[in-house]
Chains A and B, each alone.
Chain A
Amino acid sequence: MTRLLLPLVLALLTLTRVAAAATPVTLGYVGLADDPRHRPLRLYTGVVLRPEIRPVDGARLAIKDARAVGRALDLAFGLEEVTVTGAEEAAAVVERLAADKGVRFVLADLPAPMLAQLATTPAGKEAVLLNVSATEDVLRGTSCAPGLFHTIPSQAMLADALAQYAALMQWRRILLVAGPEQADEALALAYARAVQRFGGKIVDTRRFVSTRDPRQREQNNVRLLTQGVDYDAVLVADSVGEFGRSFPYQTVLPRPVIGSVGLMPSAWHWAYERSGAPQLNQRFQREVGSARPMSDEEFAAWAAVRSVIEVYSRTRSTDFAVLRQALADEGTSFDVYKDQRASFRPWDHQLRQPILLHTADAVIATAPIDRFLHERNQLDTLGVDQPQTDCRF
């Protein structure tokens, strides 16, 4: 009977737990010093459009979240944080962390070219690198690597989520307006591909420039930019996030604005109210000591640490080969507070996960949208699917 056996077993367990000192397990975090992608978006007037992004804060929170799990596993999870100035230094750091602290799982918070380079170094190949901030599809395609995992959604996933919603709402004719930056071009390409994939049509592609020069009014006046063609929605590709803000309520036709403004696709949002998301948001704000909302990159860093801890918990092993295998195994799923079970795609090691479609202060829908089906996993309607991948491990 429980009453008789329980205390006995428990007494034993308690002893074991006391006898075994927790084994330290250290994860690494490598970020770029003064990463331009993470600086606050500040206008010349001093208005701040977006606060600084500090993915490491998400990682720290996940380490803190894991205290009780660590207690159950007799492991003490920790994080070693290092900032670097380039890929070579990053490789040296990864090597040193492995040698000195046995660090095998490293969160990589680096721009795409730097991360791609790190992944090809001997140190980078030895470790598991978890990409927490680079959305570029090329990292999941031709620049992929067997040890490179991504918890930040790819550009293709974000674009597909938006295109699914547009299709759901019957916004088929899309006016695409892109900014002058190289990143805007990449974004526009991703959007155009997604719109086409889900049956929409780009009726025209236009370019805006951020200037008041009257000679360029065709490109800096939203009404002129949105006239002369019929469309169901305006899709804005603005990686900077300044000019694009002026599209809603200024289009010539009264149509919704989506993309970088209006209705936006993200990995995470502070206003998401399902799946325990408010608890995570509140924990994050307590961790950082301010009302700063958790960014996509901070969420991805949190999810990366959580995924690693989950494989320690599920395998009950500390053998790197076993852990790495479990991480890559599709059968290992992760609770990332977005209803559906997340897991890493075997063909490119991207974390499959739902995408939130939101305005400034509300989550309007989550993708995958119900009607878009998939033969194996509905989450694979977002992003590059196995038959289309350019990744060869």
Chain B
Amino acid sequence: MLKNIKTYFPIFEKYPDLAYLDSAATTQRPKSVNEAINQFNSFENANIHRGVYDLSNSATKKFEQAREKVARYIGSSNPKTIAFTSGTTHSINIIAYSFLKSTLNKGDNIVITLLDHHANFIPWQMIAQEKGAELRVVPINKKGDLDITSLGKMLDEKTKILSLNHISNSLGTVNDIHEIIDLGHKKNIPVMIDAAQSVAYYDLDILTFNYDFLAFSGHKMFAPFGTGVLYVAEKWIKSITPYNYGGGIIKNVSAEETTFSDYPFNIEAGTPNISGVMGLSSAIDFINTFDKAEMRQHISDVTHYCIEQLSTINDVKIIGTPEKRSGIVSFVVKDIHPHDVASFLNQDNIAVRAGMHCTQPLLMYLETPATVRVSFSIYNDRQEVDRLKASLVALIKFWT
């Protein structure tokens, strides 16, 4: 099924020699997704929820069908557990500000991890500082895995939320969220999962994992930028309050007061990214044509081949050796700054990311100012890894 996978993606028609190794930043868009967006914009465009004419009714229907599809994608039988947002960051901020902040008190604590992206770090830090609560950061071991014993000890009766990523966007660590969610629930602590790096390739069935909140972005699962999802478990739906006021979220408005719709509609003020949601819906169709286990197997094969090949270069040091790794590998090259590495790889049509990857606390802990990060998706292959290795070897030779 993955054999001619590149033909699904128009970008590889335009750039056949492109080795795109930056899917943790954003995945490429399949033709079918682009066509779905274009179809809506060209022939179906109308605003939702507000018109009684055919085009608007049709747009509303498709938008709400997309909500149902997203719910099914994560195993939720209730589409009203799903809100459309602009992305993972937006979704996490909603839980921080519309769920937790009003009940967070001095002396409470919030537990996150050293592996978390700034998007799952700063919102909690901000409300903790504002309310005089404690932000507890779960450490990692030398391999780059979470210290689960410390995590367990950090959770107590004053913990108001545990929020962590499923997969580290810097090291590629796959966290055992099943075990971690259980740890939280044993102490009646709601758990939020940042699934930005996993949602395209992993089954995140709610019945299996029983998370309380789930956040992910469309653009890391073959959908367009500016689309995201927030899942809220039914038990918490009444606790989500509006944070952004405007049209589309109200029951009644008078000069004296306003009453609001229930979640998810109370946080979708203004006109949503309707065409983007059409793209997200199409992206789910695209993903559903594949077997996720096969996707993961393919990515794992390329990733482990990459680690094997990079390990043969003396001056390359891989950062982190987690027990379970996704398609993300961070590394440094002796005496060559990651930005220089990335720039020279670019000269060989190899697209990688260099920097701190929005994980400054993690890199500070690792005493590494920046890394080169390669991240694989279903359209990558071993030949691209060979090119990466050859380019790195040539760069090291040139540099010295």
Does chain A bind chain B? no
**A residues lining the B interface (CB < 8 Å):** none
